Structure 1
Amino acid sequence: MGTAVRVRHLRATSVGGRVTVSAEPAPGTSGARLTFVVRAVDGSGAPVAEGEIDRAVVDRETFLAG
């Protein structure tokens, strides 16, 4: 389950331009709280955005039960 998003917009892309987004676990991330380093680059490889996304690992059945 998502708990936080911290992303900085670095530059614009042209209309119709291609953007590729990647996410990798941050160093030392483990357990019930995970942080991912995210990055978006345009078709030329120039950075468009970068940041972090935090997620919490939850038991699906317990969560849905409420």
Structure 2
Amino acid sequence: MREVFRGKIRALRQKWGWAQEDLAREIGVSLSTVQRWEKKDCKPTRLARRELERLFREAGIDSQER
């Protein structure tokens, strides 16, 4: 996962005042999964990525990587 995408995950959480636990609950993954995404240890699955992109759209954050 590119650095830009990791930053967008953090920006999403900050915009909505969410902890990592809140984001994990919202998209149906474990806390450790969100932590690994933010540390760049792993990439989201296709399903999780779709959910993240939905949340990015709702928050007004451009989800396209450049």
Q: Shorter chain as normaliser: what TM range? A: under 0.3
| Greater strand fraction, Structure 1 or Structure 2 | 1
| Greater helix fraction, Structure 1 or Structure 2 | 2
Name the larger-Rg structure.
1
Q: TM-score, normalised by structure 2?
A: 0.18
